[in-house]
Amino acid sequence: MTQEQIDDLINKAKHHEDVHDILDDLVHDAKSKEATEINNKGVPTQIRFLVDSGLANEVNDALGY
């Protein structure tokens, strides 16, 4: 998708009364799919994702270290 097409979507969104609900749902769905893919790849991928997301301390705490 070109920048011009993205700008057109942004302009359409500015004039849509339910834009926040619609985009919230779409973002949630997209991230949910990403989470499923990460989880299905197993522990090493999950750990790498969490560490790369800045959650190394949380992983350590959750695992009791």
* Helix, strand or coil, per DSSP, at residue 31: helix
Q: What is the pLDDT of residue 37?
A: 98
The answer to whether the pTM exceeds 0.85 is no
Q: What angle do CA 53, 55, 60 make, to 5 degrees?
A: 145
Spacing of C-alpha 48 from chain mean position: 16
Domain count, the chain: 1
Give the N- to C-terminal CA distance of the chain in Å, as an integer.
45
Provide the domain limits for residue 44. Answer: 3-62
**pLDDT digit string, tens, across residues 6-25:** 999 999 999 999 999 999 99
